[in-house]
A and B are shown apart, each in its own frame.
Chain A
Amino acid sequence: MREIDAQDIAQLVETLCIEACCVLPNDIQNKFKSSLQTEQSPLGREILGTLIENATIAKEERNPICQDTGMTVVFVTMGQDVHITGGYIEDAINEGVRNGYTKGYLRKSVVSDPIERINTGDNTPAIIHYEIVPGSDFHIVVAPKGFGSENKSGLKMLMPSDGIEGIKKFVFDTISAAGGNPCPPIIVGVGIGGTMERAAYLSKKALLLPVDHVNRSDTLANLEEQLLNEINQLGIGPAGFGGTTTALAVNILTNATHIAGLPVSVNIGCHATRHAEGKL
Chain B
Amino acid sequence: MQKENYRKTMEQKVIFEAPFTNEKIKSLKAGDMVYISGTIYTGRDAAHKRLFEMIEKGEEMPFDFEGQAIYYAGPCPAKPGKPIGSVGPTTAGRMDAYSPLLIEHGLKVMIGKGSRSEEVVEALKKHTGVYFAAIGGAAALMARCVESAEVIAFEELGTEAIRKLKVNQLPVIVAIDSNGNDSYEIGRKRYEIKP
Contact = CB atoms under 8 A, between A and B. Distances in A.
Interface in B27-77: 31, 33, 73-77
A54 B139 contact: yes
Contacts of B31: 43, 241
Given A63-B85, A108-B159, A57 B137 contact: no
Contacts of B21: none
A105 B191 contact: no
Interface in B137-191: 137-141, 143-144, 158-159, 171, 173, 183-184, 186-191
Nearest to A244: B191
B106 interface: no
Interface in B1-49: 2, 4-7, 31, 33
Interface residues of B, number: 49
B152 to A, nearest CB: 19
B128 interface: no
B4 A67 contact: no
A63 B140 contact: yes
Interface string A29-49: 000000000001111001100
Contacts of A69: 76
Given A67-B87, A230-B195, A183 B137 contact: yes
Contact of B184 (A51, A105, A179): A179
Nearest to B160: A119
Contacts of A235: 187-193
B137 A271 contact: yes
Interface in A48-87: 50-51, 53-55, 57-58, 61, 63-69
A119 B193 CA distance: 44
Interface of A: prevailing SS: loop
B113 interface: yes
Nearest to B79: A105
Given A235-B191, A237-B188, A242-B187, A148 B113 contact: yes
B133 interface: yes
Contacts of B75: 67, 107
A52 to B, nearest CB: 10
Given A61-B140, A64-B85, A64-B86, A239 B159 contact: no
A54 B138 contact: yes
Contacts of B193: 233, 235
B137 A272 contact: yes
Given A67-B87, A183-B136, A108 B158 contact: yes
B169 to A, nearest CB: 13
Contact of B188 (A179, A230, A271, A272): A179
Given A58-B86, A179-B114, A230-B195, A50 B141 contact: yes
A255 interface: no
A107 B77 CA distance: 6
B114 A240 contact: yes
Contacts of A107: 74-77, 85-86, 159
Contacts of B77: 105-107
B143 A43 contact: no
Contacts of B76: 63-64, 67, 69, 105-107
Interface of B: 2, 4-7, 31, 33, 73-79, 85-88, 90-91, 93, 113-115, 133, 135-141, 143-144, 158-159, 171, 173, 183-184, 186-193, 195
Interface of A: 40-43, 46-47, 50-51, 53-55, 57-58, 61, 63-69, 105-109, 119, 121, 148, 151, 179-181, 183, 230, 233-237, 239-244, 270-272
